[in-house]
Structure 1
C-alpha cells in the first residue's frame, strides 16, 4: 500500500496563531492599537510643526511688509519686495497693495511680482486678469499697464477672453468714450489723449504675446 502523503507544513503565521490559541486576537488588537497610536502621534506632531512653521512665516512676512510700507529708499524697497515674493502666493495681496501706491512703491512691487512670476506664473495668471475688469478703481492706469505686461509676459493664455473685453473698453476710451474704462481705473489720468493710446498699445502687446 502507498504511504499516506504528508501534508505540507503550515506557514509560520498560521503555526504561531495556532500555538497562541485564544490569545492571538488580543495580541493582534494590541499591535493594531500600537501602530495607530504611533501614526496618530506622528500626525499630531507634524500638524504642530506645520502650524509653528506657518506662524513663523507669518511673522516674517509681517515684518517685511512693515518695512516695505515705511521704507522710501528704492533699493531697499526692491530688495524687500523680492524677498516678500519668495513666500509665494501668500505674499501676493501685499505686493498688489504696494502696486496701488505711487512712485517708488509701485516700482518695487512690480519687481516683486516679476520675481514671483518666475516661480509661480500660474498664480499670477489666475489672480491678475480679473483685476483689470473690476469696477473698484483700486489701480491707477500705470498699475493697469503693469498688470497687462505681467499677464502677457507669463503666457496667461486663459486670460485672452478677459484681455479682449478689456481691449474693447480701451478702444472705446481712445474713441472718446472712456466712461466704462474709467470705472475700472483709479486716480486722475493726466493727458488722456496720450494715456489711452499708450494703454491700448500695452494691451495689444499682451494679447500678441499670447
Structure 2
C-alpha cells in the first residue's frame, strides 16, 4: 500500500521569521524608549533659568534694603540729636533762671547758697553762669552773689577740677579789661584751692608782671577801679596761689595734647 507524501512546513523558515519579528519589535520599543528619554531630558534648559531666579530677586532687593536701613539709621540719629538739643535748651533755661535768682538784689545769703548748689549740679556747664555772676552780681547784693558763685565753682572743682582750672586760668591771663579786679581775685583763690598745677607758670608770670596798681588798672575793667589797698589784696593772693601751686602735682606733658593727637 502506497502512502502519499504530505507537504511539511519549513520549520527553519518559520523560526527565522519569528526571530526577525521579535528583533524588529525590540528595536521599535528601544526607539520609542529613546524618543521618550529625549522628551524627558528636553526641559533641562528651563531649569537653569529657574535656578537663577532667586539670586536675581535678591540682587534687586539689596539696594532697597540698604536704603531702608540707611533711612532708619539717619532718622534715629536725627531724633537723638533733636532730643539732646531739647535737653540742652531745657538745661540752659534752668541755669539762666538760677543765674537770674543769684543776681536778684534782694537775695539773702541762704537763698544764694541754695541757688548756687542747684546751679553747680549742672557741672561744667554751670561754669560760664557762675563767672557771669562773679562779674555782674547784683547792685545791692553783689557780695552775696559773688560769694555764692565762688562757692558754686568750688563745688564743681571737686568733680571737674580741670574744667574749673581752665576757666579760672583764662580769667587771670586776660589783661584786656574784660573782667573786674574782684573776678581776678576770686579766680586766683580758686586756682590755689583747686590745686591747678597746670596754671603755675601763668600765676608766676602774673606775680612777676603785677608791679604796681597802674598795671592792675590796665588789666581789669574800669568799674570799679582798683585802688592801692585792692592792688595789695590781689598781689598778696597771687603770691599765695603761686606758693600753693609750687607744691601741686604738675600735669604730664601728654595731657597738653588736644584730642586727635595734634598740638
What SS does structure 2 have at the residue aligned with 1:103?
Answer: helix
Match of 1:168 among 201, 204, 208: 208
The residue that corresponds to 2:243 in the other structure is 205
Q: Go from structure 1 to structure 2 and tell me whether the alpha carbon gap of 1:22 and 1:195 turns closer, same or farther (over 3 Å shift).
A: closer
Higher RCO structure (Cα 8 Å, ≥6 apart): 1
Alignment of 1:30 with 2:70, yes or no, is no
Deviation at 1:203?
Answer: 3.1
What SS does structure 1 have at the residue aligned with 2:103?
Answer: helix
- State whether residues 200 and 246 of structure 2, in contact with CA within 8 Å, keep that contact through their aligned partners in structure 1: no
**Count of aligned pairs between the two proteins:** 188
Q: Deviations over 1:164-199 (max 9, x none)?
A: 1101134x23xxxx3222322453336358535633
Alignment of 1:184 with 2:219, yes or no, is yes
Gaps in structure 2 of 5+ consecutive residues: 1-50, 249-263
Q: Name the CA distance, whole Å, in 1 between partners of 2:203 and 2:94.
A: 35
- State whether residues 95 and 119 of structure 2, in contact with CA within 8 Å, keep that contact through their aligned partners in structure 1: yes
TM normalised by structure 1 equals 0.77
Provide the aligned C-alpha RMSD in A.
2.5
Q: Deviations over 1:33-71 (max 9, x none)?
A: 222122122112112211211121122112212212115
Gaps in structure 1 of 5+ consecutive residues: 1-16
Q: Go from structure 1 to structure 2 and tell me whether the alpha carbon gap of 1:132 and 1:78 turns closer, same or farther (over 3 Å shift).
A: same
TM normalised by structure 2 equals 0.63
Stretches (4+) displaced over 6 A: none
What SS does structure 1 have at the residue aligned with 2:76?
Answer: helix
Deviation at 1:128?
Answer: 1.2
> Which protein has the larger Cα radius of gyration, Structure 1 or Structure 2?
2
Q: Go from structure 1 to structure 2 and tell me whether the alpha carbon gap of 1:32 and 1:137 turns closer, same or farther (over 3 Å shift).
A: closer
The residue that corresponds to 1:3 in the other structure is none
